[in-house]
């Protein structure tokens, strides 16, 4: 259900010009104020500009589920609200309330619906998304929590601004594609690449049902050269399909028994007539990330603000490229390296650490990380 988010967007407007702190009166912290009913005999006036102390107490108790102390009540009385409606609109714009809504809104997500070859559910923002019913990777997490790789999503939303141009390589069913589309907005662009014939119908449906006219889908792999590639996937694990390296033996990855030929392009060719530069490339293609970037060298060189969010697995990538040479190439392009922590924070990494880094998600950026 999108009722609650829509209701909040309707009432979340810029604060009223009259709702300003009085000179010399600092704003008490909305989070962590002491509990306890404020004294009505204190310095706080009983009524100020049409709002009473009881109004303030009731509003904070109802929206924030805590009882304010006397200083917090006095502060809000001093903001000069014309009436309780103005007080309520102000309160739902506070960071504390928005944090509560983010948590509560998960309880209002739409019921998941099994549609035979797919499941229709919603993410934590209320966007519709179609999933593979038998998948054991993304599907359980998104159905239960509305989330997948929250730390990566946080990095995506922090790196993008409205109007930006983003590329999603290995879009899968579109979870991160939706995050990128929301971050850039209808004035931006998202170019999503996905070669899997099993996932493409779901990805197309997700883009269509959300009305994302600014998302452009490319039904192909993104590599270092155009042609045909062999895609391997495992039953029940639709989050880990990969392009088989040219040097692999026929029995490479026997658990990934589903093999299919798929088209491949380079980003330099596919986007040559579409964009002058890009702001973000996100990749999760199980070891083929170096190949995709090699095929985008021209695009990267003409994109001064570009950031790259990528899965980094030395084990998987080393079957495709020389890791030391790949890291040196990234440094020559001007990139630094940041580890995306589980909570979404960033930790700067020395280039030497990239050679033996365990399987992680990284942000690559020129100059400073966002």
Q: What is the DSSP string of 260-318?
A: EEEEEE-HHHHTTTT-S--SEEEE--TT-HHHHHHTTHHHHHT-TT-EEEEEE-HHHHT
Whether residues 302 and 361 share a domain: the answer is: yes
Whether residues 93 and 180 share a domain: the answer is: no
Q: What is the pLDDT of residue 252?
A: 59
Quote the CA–CA distance of 270 and 293 in Å, as a whole number: 13
Residue 24 lies in a domain: yes
Structure tokens at 133: 């019913």
Q: What is the pLDDT of residue 143?
A: 94
What's the Rg (C-alpha) of the chain? 25
Whether residues 30 and 169 share a domain: the answer is: no
Domain containing 30 equals 3-105
Whether residues 164 and 46 share a domain: the answer is: no
Residue 237 lies in a domain: no
> What's the pLDDT band for 103 if we cut at 50, 70, 90?
low
CA atoms within 13 A on the CB side of 279: 18
Residues 75-102: pLDDT tens digits?
899 888 999 999 998 888 777 777 677 6
- Does residue 22 surpass a pLDDT of 50? no
The pairing of strands 128-131 and 165-169 is unpaired
Whether residues 80 and 189 share a domain: the answer is: no
- Does residue 17 surpass a pLDDT of 80? no
**C-alpha 340, offset from chain centre:** 13
Per this entry, what is the length of the chain? 370
Q: What is the pLDDT of residue 111?
A: 84
Q: What is the pLDDT of residue 93?
A: 79
Residue 246 lies in a domain: no
Q: Which of 105, 120, 139 is the last residue of a domain?
A: 105
Q: Which of 82, 105, 128 is the last residue of a domain?
A: 105
CATH number of domain containing 154? 3.40.50.150
Whether residues 184 and 270 share a domain: the answer is: yes
CB 216 within 8 A of CB 190: yes
> What's the pLDDT band for 105 if we cut at 50, 70, 90?
low
Whether residues 170 and 79 share a domain: the answer is: no
In terms of Cβ atoms closer than 10 Å to its own Cβ (0-12, 13-18, 19+), residue 260 is middle
Residue 141 lies in a domain: no
Q: What is the pLDDT of residue 271?
A: 98
Tokens 């493409």 correspond to 200
Q: What is the pLDDT of residue 97?
A: 79
Least confident of 12-21, 110-119, 319-328, 347-356: 12-21
Whether residues 170 and 91 share a domain: the answer is: no
Q: Which of 88, 105, 122 is the last residue of a domain?
A: 105
Please name every residue paired with 191 in a beta bridge, in sequence order, or none if there are none.
Answer: 167, 216
- Does residue 27 surpass a pLDDT of 90? no
Whether residues 306 and 204 share a domain: the answer is: yes
Average pLDDT, the chain: 85
3-state SS track over 81-138:
CCCHHHHHHHHCCCHHHHHHHHHHHHHHCCCCEECCCCEEEECCCCCEEEECCCCCCH
Quote the CA–CA distance of 160 and 281 in Å, as a whole number: 10
> What's the pLDDT band for 34 if we cut at 50, 70, 90?
very low
Whether residues 221 and 336 share a domain: the answer is: yes
Residues 205-247: pLDDT tens digits?
999 999 999 999 999 999 999 999 999 999 889 888 899 987 6
Quote the CA–CA distance of 244 and 259 in Å, as a whole number: 9
- Does residue 9 surpass a pLDDT of 60? no
Whether residues 210 and 358 share a domain: the answer is: yes
Residue 113 lies in a domain: no
Quickly list DSSP for 148-195: SSHHHHHHHHHH--TT-EEEEES-TTSHHHHHHHHHH-TTSEEEEE--
- Does residue 249 surpass a pLDDT of 90? no
Residue 61 lies in a domain: yes
Residue 349 lies in a domain: yes
Q: Extract long-range pairs of 21-25: CB within 8 Å, 24+ residues apart.
A: 21/75, 21/78, 21/79, 22/78, 22/79, 25/75, 25/78
Total domains in the chain come to 2
Residue 7 lies in a domain: yes
Residues 130-141: pLDDT tens digits?
999 999 999 999
Quote the CA–CA distance of 248 and 214 in Å, as a whole number: 38
Whether residues 168 and 34 share a domain: the answer is: no
């Amino acid at each position: 259900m999108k009722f609650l988010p829509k209701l909040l967007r309707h009432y979340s407007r810029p604060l009223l010009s009259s709702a300003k702190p009085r000179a010399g009166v600092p704003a008490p912290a909305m989070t962590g104020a002491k509990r306890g009913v404020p004294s009505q005999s204190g310095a706080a006036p009983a009524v100020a500009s049409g709002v009473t102390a009881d109004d303030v107490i009731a509003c904070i108790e109802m929206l924030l589920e805590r009882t304010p102390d006397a200083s917090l009540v006095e502060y809000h009385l001093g903001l000069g609200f014309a009436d309780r409606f103005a007080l309520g609109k102000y309160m739902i714009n506070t960071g504390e309330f928005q944090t509560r809504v983010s948590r509560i809104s998960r309880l209002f997500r739409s019921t998941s619906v099994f549609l035979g070859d797919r499941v229709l559910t919603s993410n934590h923002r209320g966007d519709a998304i179609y999933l593979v019913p038998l998948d054991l990777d993304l599907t359980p997490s998104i159905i239960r929590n509305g989330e997948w790789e929250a730390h990566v999503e946080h990095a995506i939303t922090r790196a993008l601004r409205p109007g930006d141009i983003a590329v999603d390589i290995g879009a899968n069913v579109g979870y991160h594609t939706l995050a990128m589309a929301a971050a850039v907005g209808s004035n931006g662009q998202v170019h999503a690449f996905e070669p899997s014939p099993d996932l493409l119908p779901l990805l197309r449906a997700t883009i269509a049902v959300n009305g994302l006219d600014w998302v452009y889908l490319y039904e192909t792999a993104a590599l270092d050269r155009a042609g045909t590639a062999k895609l391997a996937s495992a039953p029940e694990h639709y989050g880990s399909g990969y392009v088989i390296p040219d040097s692999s033996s026929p029995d490479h990855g026997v658990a990934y028994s589903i093999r299919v030929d798929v088209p491949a392009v380079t980003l330099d060719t596919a986007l040559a007539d579409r964009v002058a530069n890009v702001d973000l490339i996100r990749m999760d293609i199980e070891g083929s990330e170096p190949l995709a970037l090699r095929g985008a060298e021209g695009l990267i060189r003409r994109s001064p603000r570009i950031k790259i969010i990528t899965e980094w697995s030395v084990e998987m990538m080393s079957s495709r490229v020389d890791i030391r040479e790949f890291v040196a190439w990234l440094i020559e392009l001007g990139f630094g390296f940041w580890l995306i922590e589980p909570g979404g924070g960033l930790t700067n990494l020395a280039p030497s650490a990239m050679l033996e880094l365990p399987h992680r998600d990284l942000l690559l950026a020129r100059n400073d990380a966002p």
